[in-house]
Amino acid sequence: MVFLLAIAAYLLGSIPMAFLVAKWTRGIDLRKHGSGNVGSSNVLAATSKRWALPVALFDTSKGLLAVLAARWAGLDIIPQFAVGIAAIAGHNWPIFLGFRGGRGILTTLGVILSFSPLLGLTAAVIAFSFAPLKQLSFGVFIGLFLLPLLAYGLPGFFSISERGLVAIGLAALTILAYIRRLLAGARSELAHDLSTAELLFNRLIFDRDIRDRKAWLSRSENSGKAFS
């Protein structure tokens, strides 16, 4: 049952709504515009808020529906997380687009919301608290890092019997998100003189190859967004 649901979740996650919306509304291949990521942030950059919002909701629903389906099937917490991770993997590496997708943050949020709307909201608030400083990507890094700690250490999110299992599942989500950042693609020309260690640090913490945000945003291929 877990295997079948994971396959279904991966295929659901692979539905490239961002790509389809950009193609339908602007006639463009989203992989060749903006960040090149197939997600709502790049839809916002390439089209408009009008289209980015429904894409964001759809991407979030991928993770939410995947976990709810696993729960309805009677699966325990860890198998539910496994199915949710499959949906995130589908978004990040979609079979329908040659395994080139988005960052999976909104799909990850959908998985979190399926376990605790309060925790999902808390993580989002932490992330967006850095937006006024123009460091949303760093805020996402912090929010992801704190997820398992909040689930395990703070009362009110989960029962004592659930805390450990949920913390493990959330830690897996965090690791997957970090891996996606590190595997962002070929090194940018702007980072040609950086060591591999510094490049990976910048990708992990800031979700870009260099620390200079302004230079990254103004480069010819444009920059990736935290919530794609």
pLDDT single digits (tens) 161-205: 899 999 999 999 999 999 999 998 888 888 989 999 999 999 999
Distance CA 11, CA 31 (A): 19
Residue scoring higher pLDDT (157 or 70): 70
Burial class (CB in 10 A: 0-12, 13-18, 19+), 180: buried
pLDDT > 60? residue 62: yes
Phi and psi at residue 111, to the nearest 5°: -65, -45
Q: Which two tokens stand for residue 48?
A: 């408009």
Kindly state the DSSP code that residue 33 receives in the 8-state scheme.
S
Percent of the chain with pLDDT over 70: 92
pTM above 0.85, yes or no: yes
Please list, in sequence order, all residues whose beta carbon lies within 8 angstroms of the beta carbon of residue 112, skipping any fewer than 6 positions away. 63, 119, 120, 123, 147, 170, 173
Q: What is the model's pLDDT at position 93?
A: 94
Mean pLDDT of the chain: 88
Residues 6+ apart with CB under 8 A from 208: 137, 202, 216, 223, 224
Over residues 130-154, mean pLDDT: 92
| pLDDT tier for residue 36 given thresholds of 50, 70 and 90 | low
User: Which residue is associated with the tokens 């996606």?
Assistant: 180
Local structure of residue 188 (DSSP, 8 states): P
Q: What does the pLDDT look like over 123-135, one tens digit per residue?
A: 999 999 998 988 9
pLDDT at 87 over 50: yes
Could you give the maximum distance between any two Cα atoms of the chain, in Å?
Answer: 52
As a whole number, mean pLDDT of residues 65-86 equals 97
CA distances from 57 to 10, 18, 65, 207, 228 (A): 17, 11, 12, 22, 12
Of the candidate ranges 2-6, 26-30, 104-108, 178-182, the one whose mean pLDDT is the lowest: 26-30
Binned at pLDDT 50, 70 and 90, residue 221 comes out as very low
CA distance 69 to 58: 16
Q: Produce one character per residue of 139-150: b if its CB has 16 or more CB atoms within 10 Å, e if not.
A: bbbbbbebbbeb
Give residue 222's pLDDT.
44
Name the one residue in this structure whose structure tokens are 């590496």.
Answer: 93
